[in-house]
Structure 1
Amino acid sequence: MPTWAQDIRIASYNTALSRKGPGLLLRDIEREDPQVLAVVATIVEARPDAILLQDFDYDYSALALGALSAALDRSGLSLPYHFALRPNSGWQTGLDLDGDGRIGGARDAQGFGRFSGQGGMALLSRHPIDTGGVQDFSRLLWRDVPGALGPEQPDVLPKIHQDVQRLSYVGHWMVPVMIPQGRLTLLAFHASPPVFDGPEDRNGYRNADELQLWLALLDGLMGSQPDGPIVLLGDANNDPYRGEGHKKPIRALLNHPRLQDPLAQHGATVVWEQTGPMRVDYVLPDVSLFVRGSGQSAPNPTASRHRLVWVDIRLPETR
């Protein structure tokens, strides 16, 4: 018979900590910049067991991530296990993707970025991360995603770009975390904003296909399924009802038979001046998991326009 163990809190947070140059985030963490302190306070108040951070600059030695973890530890929250991969944001393609006659610009990268690693993702965890079991889909070409619509549209992905352009704006990771009750696999991502393009709707299609990647995985179209229960989490940059972006893929994720959406009752997770309140940040647990609670942080504009969102889950144990 299954029994239930302690609660595990899984969180996602777009920190808005990205800086305009390499090394500046580490500098600001070490200087205890007011925004950094506000982000730390938000995370400490939520007390997650594992948290996916978006808009957090990547560096090869994870110095900024280590510094943030140390700041959290000094504030009473120990998340000693870290994971990050080089994101597509700022990773130059060598092509003139934006058609301005030059290469090497922020819009010529796989995902918008002034330098390699700008606006990356990172995972912090109280429990060990099985780095050897990680699957990274971030280098998958856009044209190769099962069910992708963008490459089929005129002017969205010119043929000269199809051999180079990856789908992921930042990244798509499948990361196993070894919590006391067993193995929990996190499907982590940060999708492109479906705006800042032209009438071809390139970013709109890209955002939709980044969500389609998870649908293809959940539906068994990308090889083996994740082993055991999953939690899909991150910034989808798409509200199911409001704002720009194709709504069919995000609604399909929220209603997928493999997932549940305990945060639906909490409403908007960000407020933008142009669009007002929108729900774009998600934590979607496996239907096999028992949800004990869910919520989001209070607004803190000093930290980020986004709210931290969290879900408390329990895994069944068979004895």
Structure 2
Amino acid sequence: MPQDTVRIATYNASLNRAAKGKLAADLATPGNAQARNIAEVIQRNNPDILLLNEFDYDQDHTAVDLFRANYLEVGHHGQAPVSYPYAYTAPSNTGVDSGLDLNNDGDLGTADDAFGFGEFEGQYGMVLLSKFPIETPGIRTFRTFRWRDMPGNLMPADYYSAEAQEALRLSSKSHWDVPVRVDGETVHVLASHPTPPSFDGDEDRNGRRNNDEIRFWTDYVSGGQQADYIYDDAGQRGGLKPGERFVILGDLNSDPRDGGSWPGSIAQLLKHPRVQDPEPASRGAVEAARRQGASNISHLGDPRLDTADFQDHPAPGNLRVDYVLPSKNLNVCGAGVFWPEPGEPGADLTGEFPFPTSDHRLVWVDLKLPKGPA
């Protein structure tokens, strides 16, 4: 039976651990408090398609299967269990040793020398969960795309060695195009988790990389000549075709007006002619900014749109960094951020540091899919 609406969400769940295999060990039994709380957040919002950022990758997908069986498919505090029969996960650049001194500290093999920051391969990975079938043969990944191959890139050439410039990958985790079949229509789920624009020096290598990781999707959804330079991990070139439906989602680590992003980074998507911004919002974010004060007081952006509760002193304060951005040929009929005000149901699941779940909030958008050609 076709659904009237489809809810698509992104959630940086902070299900990362300090050692390889630790997440699967934590999820092997139903007693992990953080995982229970995250599962309840998901159950309360009940998305049909959900991207989880910061979910450690393992080759056998053990952690994903355990999270579904032991947490999502078990009701928490009166919430109905939720089942995701379809899931996709894949290797991440995090923790993959480049063999080079990428942070110029004279040492090799550190977390900063990996293609994406990480203590082990797959730390801070991604998982896509879906109630609808994933069109597996059509999946494209761009994990090995080299930064230097993006025309007009912002790589700081005076910072990286010639060897590093040749080898460095654009994606700090990966970029995925995962087609999902929703009631007979294909929606391309474009998932990523760009590096934070911080933890660097005056060269701003992470701010520049964040900008270009976001720009990748700008060019990809533009298609045509603008996407001719793009190649995926199987060698196929180009971007989306005109009229294809898509949703860009993930923790993109860029606020439109506040924080330390390269100027205009997220605006590349928010102002793109094929993209619409539903501006998911919450009252809880407004209350948190008011209550916490500090750097939030000087912010230029609307606090209703914040999606992350970051350190307030000295910076950056609460920011909008998590996005669900549908193509304009999809009909938006609702949007929100799960950030309850104190005393509202679920407020104990967000909280403040030390967070019972994550410093990010689940962001959702409801869509009505038009039938037939876009």
The residue aligned with 2:13 is: 15
Whole-angstrom CA distance in 1 between matches of 2:133 and 2:368: 17
Aligned residues: 314
> What percentage of aligned pairs have identical amino acids?
41
- Give the 3-state SS of the residue equivalent to 2:15 in structure 1: coil
Whole-angstrom CA distance in 2 between matches of 1:194 and 1:116: 21
The residue aligned with 1:91 is: 96
The residue aligned with 1:100 is: 105
Residue 163, structure 1, aligned to residue 166, structure 2: yes
**Matched-pair contact (CA < 8 Å) for 2:12–2:53:** yes
- Give the 3-state SS of the residue equivalent to 2:324 in structure 1: strand
The residue aligned with 1:276 is: 317
Long gaps (5+) in structure 1: none
Residue 256, structure 1, aligned to residue 272, structure 2: yes
Please give the root-mean-square deviation of Cα atoms over the aligned residues, in Å. Answer: 1.6
* Residue identity in the other structure for 1:16: S
Whole-angstrom CA distance in 1 between matches of 2:362 and 2:372: 32
The residue aligned with 1:74 is: 74
Deviation string, structure 1 residues 83-140 (Cα, Å, up to 9, x no partner): 0110001111111212233222111100000000000011010111112111111210
**Matched-pair contact (CA < 8 Å) for 1:44–1:72:** yes
Whole-angstrom CA distance in 2 between matches of 1:20 and 1:132: 33
* Residue identity in the other structure for 1:197: D
Runs of 4+ in 1 over 4 A off after TM superposition: none
- Give the 3-state SS of the residue equivalent to 1:198 in structure 2: coil
The residue aligned with 2:366 is: 312
The residue aligned with 2:49 is: 50
Whole-angstrom CA distance in 1 between matches of 2:316 and 2:3: 42
Residue 207, structure 1, aligned to residue 210, structure 2: yes
Residue among 257, 270, 280 paired with 1:241: 257
Whole-angstrom CA distance in 2 between matches of 1:213 and 1:308: 24
The residue aligned with 2:124 is: 119
TM-score, normalised with respect to structure 2: 0.81
Deviation at 1:308, TM superposition (A): 0.3
- Give the 3-state SS of the residue equivalent to 2:275 in structure 1: coil
Long gaps (5+) in structure 2: 76-80, 228-237, 282-303, 340-349
* Residue identity in the other structure for 2:35: V
Deviation string, structure 1 residues 218-238 (Cα, Å, up to 9, x no partner): 222222415721000011111
Instruction: Give the greater-gyration-radius structure (CA).
Output: 2
* Residue identity in the other structure for 2:74: R
For residues 173-184 of structure 1, the aligned pairs below 5 Å read: 173-184=176-187
- Give the 3-state SS of the residue equivalent to 1:203 in structure 2: helix
* Residue identity in the other structure for 1:74: V
Deviation string, structure 1 residues 261-315 (Cα, Å, up to 9, x no partner): 1125541000111311100000000101111111111234300010000001011
**Matched-pair contact (CA < 8 Å) for 1:96–1:103:** yes
- Give the 3-state SS of the residue equivalent to 2:196 in structure 1: coil
Deviation string, structure 1 residues 142-189 (Cα, Å, up to 9, x no partner): 0112332225x532x332202211010111111101111411101100
Whole-angstrom CA distance in 1 between matches of 2:279 and 2:95: 32
Deviation at 1:5, TM superposition (A): 5.6
- Give the 3-state SS of the residue equivalent to 1:278 in structure 2: coil
Whole-angstrom CA distance in 1 between matches of 2:269 and 2:163: 31
Whole-angstrom CA distance in 2 between matches of 1:247 and 1:293: 29
Whole-angstrom CA distance in 1 between matches of 2:45 and 2:260: 30
Bigger proportion of residues as strand: 1
Between 293-302 and 39-48, the greater mean CA deviation after superposition:
293-302
Deviation at 1:27, TM superposition (A): 1.4
- Give the 3-state SS of the residue equivalent to 2:318 in structure 1: strand
**Matched-pair contact (CA < 8 Å) for 1:191–1:236:** yes
